[in-house]
């Protein structure tokens, strides 16, 4: 499953396709029940979904979900029993997905579906009744840890917490079920970027919120903030990195600062640390998490690497997004009970080994 803190509905591939390795077969389940559009669940529990549900020709509760990367999925809602360890939750609502469009077909083929983990009423974490969950994404092989429930480990550093931002009134551009935090500033190697206070404050429409989103790949910043960071990073890497001088080359439509790095080089040169300052907490982005090697892009003996921060304005997004590339090797706790998010830097591959030992010892 893809773990997505930026979306609500969990869904599974239910239709056999040539490229899919795994699907969920509803006919093989005794506890699977389709949700008709006349039901209260369809009428009242779907209000937080990004697009309203509709009634399909079979009178089933039909959903369509579109994501920031322009992919979309659709299918019908159903009830099923979900089990995690000793916890069993009958009549959990999920999406049985039978069609969709994607820009990453190869990646999608490796998964059975998506686990929606935001704060909406139909999110997996809310339906299962967990007051906390944590995860850690490894930079080694894209594996990691998902921990449902709250636990403290002696090998985990104390977490720095930042409160979740709420609004008392609905605003058109504010996603009220997202994990929103207050971005107060950005530093590049101890130099604070000269940003006006208004940049990181919500405007009257709700634009300018900062969302922690594991379903987005990179960090995206609103135009003025992106420009200031780009300028400072470029300045501090002069003589360290060679800029790709191709004015029309823009990676993923929003990342226009790219470099040429010798393909034979085993490690990246020493780079400045970018520090995101939230209310009460900080998140440092360093080393490999600052850049992204673009697959298949080669110039002679060099590979193309792009600065892994993008311009939200170029994607038509009116918010700041903290994606999973920069979340690598950071333990992140989503504390719904206390309305806060905690961060601690850690080697996730080692944390996985220690957690495995802890579980073995408990058994």
Enumerate the active-site residues.
Answer: 4, 213
Tally of helices (H runs) and strands (E runs) in the chain = 6, 26
Q: For the residues of 1-27, what is the DSSP string, one character each?
A: -EEETT----EEE-S--TT-S----GG
CB 135 within 8 A of CB 143: no
Element (H, E) at 98: strand 87-101
Q: How far apart are CA 268 and CA 255, in angstroms?
A: 19
Pairing of β 72-84 and β 33-34: antiparallel
Query: What span, in angstroms and rounded, lies between the C-alpha atoms of 265 and 262?
Result: 5
CB atoms within 10 A of CB 200: 21
Tokens of 149: 């429930």
Give the separation between CA 171 and CA 363, rounded to whole angstroms. 49
Do residues 60 and 42 make contact, with C-beta atoms less than 8 angstroms apart? Answer: no
Which residues are paired to 211 by β-bridges?
A: 180, 321
Q: Coil, helix or strand for 28?
A: helix
Q: How long, in residues, is the chain?
A: 363
The two tokens of residue 197 are 């206070």
Q: Say what the alpha-carbon torsion angle 253, 254, 257, 263 is, to the nearest 10 degrees.
A: -50
Name the DSSP class of 204. Answer: T
- Who's near 190: CB < 8 A, 6+ residues apart? none
């Amino acid at each position: 499953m893809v773990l997505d803190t930026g979306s609500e509905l969990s869904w599974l591939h239910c239709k056999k396709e040539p490229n899919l390795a795994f699907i969920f077969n509803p006919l093989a389940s005794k506890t699977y029940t389709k949700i008709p559009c006349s039901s209260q669940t369809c009428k009242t529990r779907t209000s937080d979904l990004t697009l309203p549900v509709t009634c399909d020709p079979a009178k089933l509760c039909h959903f369509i979900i579109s994501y920031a990367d322009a992919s979309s999925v659709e299918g019908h809602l159903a009830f099923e029993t979900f089990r995690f360890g000793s916890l069993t939750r009958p009549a959990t609502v999920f999406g049985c997905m039978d069609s969709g469009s994607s820009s990453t077909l190869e990646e999608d083929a490796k998964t059975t579906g998506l686990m929606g983990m935001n704060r909406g009423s139909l999110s997996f974490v809310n339906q299962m009744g967990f007051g906390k969950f944590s995860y850690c994404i490894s930079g080694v092989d894209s594996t990691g840890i998902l921990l449902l429930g709250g636990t403290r480990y002696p090998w985990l550093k104390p977490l720095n917490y930042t409160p979740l931002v709420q609004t008392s009134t609905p605003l058109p551009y504010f996603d009220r079920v997202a994990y929103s935090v207050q971005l107060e500033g950005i530093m590049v190697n101890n130099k604070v970027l000269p940003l006006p206070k208004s940049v990181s404050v919500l405007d009257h429409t709700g634009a300018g919120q900062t969302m922690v989103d594991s379903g987005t790949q990179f960090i995206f910043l609103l135009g003025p903030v992106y420009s200031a960071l780009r300028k400072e990073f470029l300045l501090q890497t002069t003589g360290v990195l060679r800029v790709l001088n191709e004015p029309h080359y823009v990676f993923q439509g929003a990342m226009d600062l790219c470099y040429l790095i010798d393909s034979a080089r085993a490690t990246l040169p020493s780079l400045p640390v970018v520090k995101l300052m939230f209310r009460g907490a900080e998140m440092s982005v360093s080393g490999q998490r600052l850049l992204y090697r673009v697959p298949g892009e080669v110039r002679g003996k060099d590979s193309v690497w792009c600065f892994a921060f993008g311009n939200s304005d170029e994607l038509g997004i009116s918010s700041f997004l903290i994606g999973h590339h920069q979340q690598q090797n950071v333990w992140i706790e989503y504390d719904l009970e206390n309305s806060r998010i905690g961060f601690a830097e850690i080697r996730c591959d080692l944390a996985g080994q220690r957690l495995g030992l802890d579980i073995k010892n408990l058994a």
